[in-house]
Amino acid sequence: MLTHTVRRLMLAVPTLIFTALVIFLLLELAPGDPMAQVPLTVPPEVKQQTREALGLGEPTHIRFGKWLWQFFVAEPLAVLDGLFGTAMAEGQQRVISCQTRSPVMDILAQRMPQPLWGSPWPMS
């Protein structure tokens, strides 16, 4: 039974990485880029600096590695920070939501129910 579990876990890791690669490549092949929706009033040099800051000029394998790091390390740490008040994700690069100008996982953590031991709602 233990060997079966270990074998399944060893198959799960490459499967997750392959699935992440497929999703990343689908996002890469989609038309346009994050800078396509920037207003025309933004100067071209600012657009180029933003593209460089987002890493859009880097090779695909480098962007994939950064994407994996963000998805599997930085964002789960941000969720833990939001839930338990720690500072483990401090200094990590985060995805910023275009609509609210705040990190996506912060918005999700704000919308999650608070635990009972630190609940701001009065207990009845």
The answer to whether the pTM exceeds 0.85 is: no
- The structural domain count of the chain equals 1
Is 14 inside any structural domain?
Answer: no
pLDDT of residue 97: 46
pLDDT of residue 7: 93
Query: In this structure, how many other beta carbons lie within 10 angstroms of the beta carbon of residue 28?
Result: 12
pLDDT of residue 21: 92
Is 91 inside any structural domain?
Answer: yes
What's the domain range around 73? 59-114
Is 45 inside any structural domain?
Answer: no
In the block, which residue shows the tokens 């918005």?
Answer: 107
In which residue ranges of the chain is pLDDT below 70? Answer: 91-124
SS3 87: coil
pLDDT of residue 95: 58
pLDDT of residue 86: 75
Round to whole Å and give the CA distance between 115 and 84. 9
Query: What is the tens place of the pLDDT at every residue in 14-44?
Result: 998 999 899 889 888 888 777 777 788 888 8
Alpha helices in 1-124 (DSSP H): 2-29, 44-54, 60-69, 75-84, 104-111
Is 85 inside any structural domain?
Answer: yes
Round to whole Å and give the CA distance between 79 and 105. 6
Is 107 inside any structural domain?
Answer: yes
